[in-house]
Structure 1
Amino acid sequence: MNDDELVNRLKEIIIEEEIDIIIVGEPVTLAGYASEQTQKSREFAQLLEKYLTVPVKLFDERLTSRRADAATLGATMPTRNRDELAAMFLLQDYLDKQKSNNF
């Protein structure tokens, strides 16, 4: 899927699911430093901000993959499934952070 196709599909999903924010994982090192992948994620978030009508936020995704592995007790699973589980942890972490900031 190229960038145009991705953006168009995201626009459809945003309308269908009534999404009001996009969270993009920001993969920094354990020490908190940026990497090549961090830059790619930032560029992706900028692309989305340019073409989507909802806010796009970067959020630290450190340890989400490890947590996904731990949650499945190290069971072998397709990378896609592990990535989906890691994304779930990322979103929950974001929601928890927002909740704690509002109290």
Structure 2
Amino acid sequence: MRGRRLGIDVGAVRVGVALSDPDGVLATPLVTVPRDVAGGSDLTAIAGLVADHEVVGIVLGLPRTLAGREGPAAEAARDFAAGLASVVDVPVELSDERLTTVVATQQLRERGVKGRKQRAVVDQAAAVAILQGWLDAARRR
């Protein structure tokens, strides 16, 4: 289905968000939202992005271990996905995100982005990797 999609990388402190073009070819960084487990302002902010950008679907990274097992981070991602699904009218799909944050960090370091600046954008870069992987796989299907 044609339309923009959001890619989401959920962390304990921040939520990285990426956006695709309407044709589903390219994912680009959009924003980093502060994580708000208690208040839910992160879910509200993302729901606003869905409306503002006329998003047709959300791809949320599901962190697994290299062995494919799920731990506390995966449980937190599943909980976030369920919360998000309750505040948006578009499908929320989980996608394996093994190593996306590691790869994003390495790419930023190679580009000379370090320290505090890196922390500010690494979540967005990880969200881009999650969404781009999903878009590429969807095109092959």
TM-score by length of 1: 0.85
Matched pairs, number = 100
**AA aligned opposite 2:55:** I
Unaligned runs of 5+ in 1: none
Q: Answer yes or no: is the 8 Å Cα contact 2:58–2:93 preserved in 1.
A: yes
Partner of residue 34, structure 1: 70
Distance (whole Å) between structure 2 residues aligned to residue 61 and residue 90 of structure 1 = 6
Q: Which runs of 4+ in 1 moved over 4 A?
A: none
Tell me which moved more, 72-81 or 56-65.
72-81
**AA aligned opposite 1:39:** E
Distance (whole Å) between structure 1 residues aligned to residue 65 and residue 122 of structure 2 = 19
Q: Which has the higher helix share?
A: 1
Residue of structure 2 aligned with 1:17, choices 29, 53, 61: 53
Distance (whole Å) between structure 2 residues aligned to residue 85 and residue 6 of structure 1 = 18
Q: Answer yes or no: is the 8 Å Cα contact 2:60–2:93 preserved in 1.
A: yes
- Listed one character per residue, the Cα deviations across residues 45-95 of structure 1 (whole Å, up to 9, x for unaligned) are 011112210100111111112221332328424312112111111110010
Q: Equivalent residue of 1:82, what SS?
A: helix
Q: Equivalent residue of 2:59, what SS?
A: strand
Distance (whole Å) between structure 1 residues aligned to residue 89 and residue 135 of structure 2 = 21
Decide whether aligned partners of structure 1 residues 10 and 66 sit closer, same or farther in structure 2, where only a CA change above 3 A counts. closer
Provide the identity percentage.
29
Compare relative contact order (CA 8 Å, sep 6+) and give the higher one, 1 or 2: 2
Give RMSD over aligned pairs: 1.7
Distance (whole Å) between structure 2 residues aligned to residue 63 and residue 7 of structure 1 = 24
Q: Which has the higher strand share?
A: 2
TM-score by length of 2: 0.64
